[in-house]
Structure 1
C-alpha cells in the first residue's frame, strides 16, 4: 500500500517532466532551426520477492518469479535533428542548410558554437553575424559599397561592387557535422556546443560528404509538429490523472484499514 503511493508519485513527477518538455516544444514552434525534444523514461529497480527459476522441489523450478516495480524516472531528453521546412524569406542574408551540418559561429569566450539558424545580419564592421551578434567563424566581411550579395549552394560568398562587372569573392562558408548530433549540448540562443557525447566536429564545404547545401533567401523553421505535441499533451494529462487516482485509491484503502 505504501509502495503504491511512492510509485504513483514517481509517475506524476515523470508526467510533469513530460509536460515541461512539450511546453518547451510548443513555445518554440516559430523558432528558426529549433529541434524537437522528447523525454526518455526508464523503470526503476524491482523488489525480487520470488526468484524466477528457483527450485520448488528436487526436480522442478519456478517458471516465473515475483518482482514488484518501484516506479519510473526520467533519464534523458533526446533531440530530433530531422530537418524542418524551408521557408522562403526574400532576404539575401538568410541561409538555410538543406541536409546535414551546422553553421559555425565564434562565441565571446573564443569557443565555437553550432547552429541551424541561418537568419544572418551584418554588424557595424560588415561581418555576417547571427541575430545575437555572433560572427561566423569564416570571418566573412561584406564591403560597405557592395550592391548585392550572392551565396552559392557550396558556400561561396561573392558581392557585386560598383564599376566592377565581375563578382568578387569575399569568403567561403564551411559547415560542421557530428557523428552523434543528439549529443550536442544546447546553450540557448539557437546554439549548440560540442560535447564528449557528440564527438569531434567534421568540417567541410557545403555539398560535400555528409554536408547539406546552402540555400540563400530561405530559413529553416522548427521541426515541431503542433498536432503531435497536442496529442502527446493529452496523453500526458490522462497519465497524470491516472497516477493521481492511484494515490487517492491507496489513501482510501489505508483509511479503511485504520477504521478496523
Structure 2
C-alpha cells in the first residue's frame, strides 16, 4: 500500500512539472523580439553595430548637413580615431590611429582603392555625394583585408536605393568666394515594382585661392564625379550594379 501511494505522488509531481513547463514555453513563444539595429557590412560577419566583435566606427553621411557632405575628407574626421593629412586642394589622405598611406586600406563601391597609398600628391579622390555611410575598422582584425591594412580599413558604402515606387530629386549649388568656385550636385533616385535606379553627378570647379596679397598659384581644384546604380530585388534574387566615374 505504501508503494502505491509513493508512485501516485510521483506521478502527480511529474504531471504538475510538465504543465508548468508547457505554460512557460507558451508564454515565451508569444513574445516576438524585433531588432532593427544598424548592420555593419564592411566586416565578413554582417553583424549589427552592437553585436559586432570588431572595433568598427560608423558615420552616416545622410545625417550630416549639406556643407559637411561637400568635403568628404573633413566629414570622415567625425569618426573617433580618424584624421586627415592634406597637402593641397583635393589632396587628402586618411590617418587611422597615426598610420596612413600604405598602412591604411580604402574600399569604395565595394572595390579597393589605392590612390592614396603612394606619393604625397595622391589623395583618395572620393566624392561625398552618393555615399550613404562610412565604416572604419580599427585594431588587429583589420588585417583580414591584407597586411597593408595594419592601420585600419576605410569602407565607403554607396547610397541606398529609393524605397517604394516614385522618385526623388536632390539639387544643390554652393559658391565659394575665396576660390571663386562653384560646387554643383544633382541626384535622382527612383523605383518601380522590383526595379530601382540611382544617378548622382557632381562638379567642383575652384580657381586659385585669394589672399590679401593676391592669388596663390597652383591652388585651383577641379573634380567631376558620376555614380550610377541599378538594382533588382525579387523573392529569390537580388542584383546590384554600381558604376562610378571620377
Please state which band the TM-score falls in when normalised by the shorter chain.
Answer: under 0.3
Greater share of strand: 2
Give the number of the structure with larger relative contact order, counting CA–CA contacts within 8 Å between residues 6 or more apart: 1
Q: TM-score, normalised by structure 1?
A: 0.25
